[in-house]
């Protein structure tokens, strides 16, 4: 009985392995892929890797600049609590608004006839300060790095108020917030450096790399 012809498989196209004692002339050509070679690795597009890195830096910078909004909001809450007769405050809040509210409350206690005016002036000052702090947050997220630095310096100086009165919890939290701000500032600075280097490489016709 005639045998049916065997159909070739994809493995039949692979080059046969030369015997171990074969002469160098019988070796596989230079462009052949050796058996023990690692499989080809599909590498990601360098631009995609750069975009991912920039996205991570931007998220960290946004988080650091977001502390300005928290400071403004919690400072206003502190002001409402104090001016309404409370005696508690958030440690993230500003010392400068706390001083203004304390003075207004003392004046209101000593001169009830002008209590509303004193507290109104203090709260107006608090709103102005909160608006300025929010402006620092908005500009820091642009990101305008000099504004970010000025905001951190002002918050550092504000922490000295708590240091002078011995409120160590607020001092410690000011330090914690400043570290978060510094992390965001560093991320924004690195992001700008990467973008500037990328623009230079593209202008010179050099492909981007991570």
CA distances from 171 to 68, 80, 90, 91 (A): 16, 21, 12, 8
Binned at pLDDT 50, 70 and 90, residue 16 comes out as very low
Structure tokens belonging to residue 132: 């300025």
Tell me the two tokens of residue 16: 């046969």
Rounded Cα distance, 75 and 84, in Å: 14
In-domain check, residue 9? no
User: Do residues 184 and 65 make contact, with C-beta atoms less than 8 angstroms apart?
Assistant: yes
Q: How many residues does the chain have?
A: 210
Question: Worst-scoring range by mean pLDDT, 48-52, 98-102, 177-181?
Answer: 48-52
Residue 135: inside a domain: yes
- Whole-number Cα distances in Å, 160 to 94, 125, 156, 164, 193: 11, 20, 7, 6, 33
Please check the confidence at residue 196 and state whether its pLDDT lies above 90: no
* Whether 162 contacts 172, CB under 8 Å: no
pTM of the predicted model as reported, rounded to 2 decimal places:
0.72
Number of domains making up the chain: 1
Residue 203 reports pLDDT greater than 50: yes
Check whether 200 has a pLDDT greater than 50. yes
Residue 45 confidence (pLDDT): 66
Residue 37 lies in a domain: no
The H-assigned helical ranges of 43-167 are 46-65, 67-83, 95-110, 115-140, 145-165
**Structural domain containing residue 154:** 46-201
Show the 3-state SS of 18-36. Answer: CCCCCCHHHCCCCCCCCCC
Residue 110 pLDDT > 90: yes
pLDDT grade for 21, boundaries at 50, 70 and 90: low
In a domain, 41, yes or no: no
Query: Is residue 14 a part of any domain in this protein?
Result: no
Q: Are 152 and 181 in contact (CB under 8 A)?
A: yes
Nearest one of 181, 208, 178, 203 to 54, comparing CA atoms = 208
Q: Report the candidate in 101, 78, 100 with the shortest Cα–Cα distance to residue 170.
A: 78
pLDDT of 201 above 80:
no
Which token pair is 31? 């462009």
Examine residue 209 and state whether it is found in any structural domain, yes or no.
no
Residue 144 clears pLDDT 90, i.e. is over it = yes
Q: CA–CA separation, 170 vs 178, rounded Å?
A: 12
Q: Which of 69, 182, 186 is nearest to 136 (CA)?
A: 69
Using alpha carbons, list the distances in angstroms from residue 52 to 1, 6, 49, 65, 163. 66, 52, 5, 20, 41
In a domain, residue 13? The reply is no
pLDDT of residue 12: 44
**105 in a domain, yes or no?**
yes
Q: What is the pLDDT of residues 47-68, one digit of tens each?
A: 788 888 899 999 999 999 999 9
């Amino acid at each position: 009985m005639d045998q049916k012809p065997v159909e070739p498989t994809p493995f039949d196209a692979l080059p046969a392995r030369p015997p171990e004692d074969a002469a160098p002339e019988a070796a596989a050509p230079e462009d052949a892929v050796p058996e023990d070679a690692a499989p080809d690795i599909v590498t990601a597009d360098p631009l995609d890797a750069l975009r991912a890195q920039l996205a991570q830096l931007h998220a960290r910078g946004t988080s650091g600049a977001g502390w300005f909004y928290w400071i403004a909001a919690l400072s206003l809450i502190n002001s409402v609590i104090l001016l309404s007769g409370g005696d508690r405050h958030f440690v993230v809040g500003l010392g400068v608004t706390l001083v203004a509210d304390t003075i207004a409350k003392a004046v209101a206690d000593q001169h009830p006839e002008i209590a509303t005016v004193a507290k109104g002036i203090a709260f107006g000052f608090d709103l102005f300060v909160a608006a300025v702090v929010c402006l620092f947050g908005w500009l820091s997220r642009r990101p305008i790095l000099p504004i970010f630095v000025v905001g951190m310096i002002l918050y550092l100086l504000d922490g000295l108020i708590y240091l002078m009165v011995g409120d160590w919890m607020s001092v410690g939290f000011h330090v914690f917030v400043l570290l978060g701000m510094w992390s965001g500032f560093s991320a924004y600075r690195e992001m700008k450096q990467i973008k500037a280097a990328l623009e230079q490489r593209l202008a010179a016709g050099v492909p981007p790399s991570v």
